């Protein structure tokens, strides 16, 4: 039997997964963080994630998932490809890494099971999504069923941000009492600039517009 009060958080050190980490710390007695490396442009991301986990006494594990960057080209893992600034009509931006979330959830479920943990927490969101199919609720529910069937377990995948746009993610961080930590210590920027970021990349634009809206309504 997997431990009901234990959760593994898929954790990258960005705004979303950091908010999820603190959400999980409120919900569960035992929390671990799992961070994937996959040849993303800035491996500094891992050190940011490690620092947040250590500061909050959360056991932190890094898993090499670089196989996914060898399978197909995308602008997150290949610096020779210019990153799409906007979502092309009828498609996803070339920052899409095909299969990423399915592979991440599979790896995470195996790791969770090895610790006897029942819960998985991931920061995917359908509200602000760039059109990535593997951020949709229907995909997560399907993956949850598949993982349970694959391992004959009763995992629960939690997606606390699924229906929150970036403004509401900032609001959640504030509710959890970690607004300043998320604002100052996380790394969301595709160009590897911590906190407010470069301000130009799509990740920064989304994060900073959400922050501006939240601070205006506060
Ligand atoms: Zn940026």
Question: Residue ranges per domain, the chain?
Answer: 3-165
- Residue 89 confidence (pLDDT) above 90: no
Please give the distance, rounded to the nearest whole angstrom, from the Cα atom of residue 82 to the centre of ligand 1: 14
Secondary structure class of 188 (helix, strand, coil): coil
pLDDT, tens digit, for every residue of 41-66?
667 889 999 999 999 999 999 999 98
| Pick from 182, 185, 165: nearest CA to 173 | 182
What's the pLDDT at 107? Answer: 98
Please give the distance, rounded to the nearest whole angstrom, from the Cα atom of residue 63 to the centre of ligand 1: 24
- Residue 215 confidence (pLDDT) above 80: yes
Tell me which fold the domain 3-165 belongs to: Rossmann fold (3.40.50)
Beta bridge partners of 12: none
| Pick from 207, 193, 166: nearest CA to 41 | 193
Answer with the residue of higher pLDDT: 132 or 104.
104
pLDDT band at 1 (very low <50, low <70, confident <90, very high): confident
pLDDT, tens digit, for every residue of 12-42?
999 999 999 999 999 999 999 999 998 766 6
Q: Flag whether the pTM goes above 0.85.
A: yes
What's the pLDDT at 80? Answer: 72
- Residue 174 confidence (pLDDT) above 80: yes
Give the span between the Cα atoms of 192 and 162, in whole angstroms.
25
Please give the distance, rounded to the nearest whole angstrom, from the Cα atom of residue 83 to the centre of ligand 1: 11
Please give the distance, rounded to the nearest whole angstrom, from the Cα atom of residue 133 to the centre of ligand 1: 23
Quickly tell me which residue has 């442009």 as its tokens.
41
- Residue 81 confidence (pLDDT) above 80: no
What's the pLDDT at 83? Answer: 66
């Amino acid at each position: 039997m997997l431990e009901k009060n234990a959760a593994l958080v898929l954790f990258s050190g960005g705004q979303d997964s950091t908010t999820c980490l603190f959400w999980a710390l409120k919900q569960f007695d035992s929390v671990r963080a799992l961070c994937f490396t996959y040849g993303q442009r800035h491996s500094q991301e891992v050190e940011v994630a490690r620092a947040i986990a250590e500061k909050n006494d959360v056991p932190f594990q890094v898993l090499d998932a670089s196989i996914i960057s060898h399978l197909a080209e995308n602008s997150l893992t290949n610096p020779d490809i210019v990153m799409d600034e906007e979502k092309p009509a009828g498609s996803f931006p070339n920052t899409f890494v095909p299969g990423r979330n399915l592979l991440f959830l599979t790896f995470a479920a195996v790791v969770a099971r090895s610790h006897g943990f029942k819960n998985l927490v991931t920061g995917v969101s359908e509200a602000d999504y760039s059109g990535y199919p593997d951020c949709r609720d229907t995909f997560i529910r399907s993956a949850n069923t598949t993982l349970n069937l694959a391992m004959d377990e009763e995992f629960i995948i939690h997606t606390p941000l699924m229906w929150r746009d970036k403004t509401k993610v900032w609001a959640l961080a504030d509710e959890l009492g970690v607004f300043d930590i998320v604002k100052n210590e996380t790394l969301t920027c595709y160009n590897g600039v911590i906190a407010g970021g470069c301000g130009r990349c799509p990740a920064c634009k989304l994060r900073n517009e959400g922050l501006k809206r939240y601070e205006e309504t506060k």
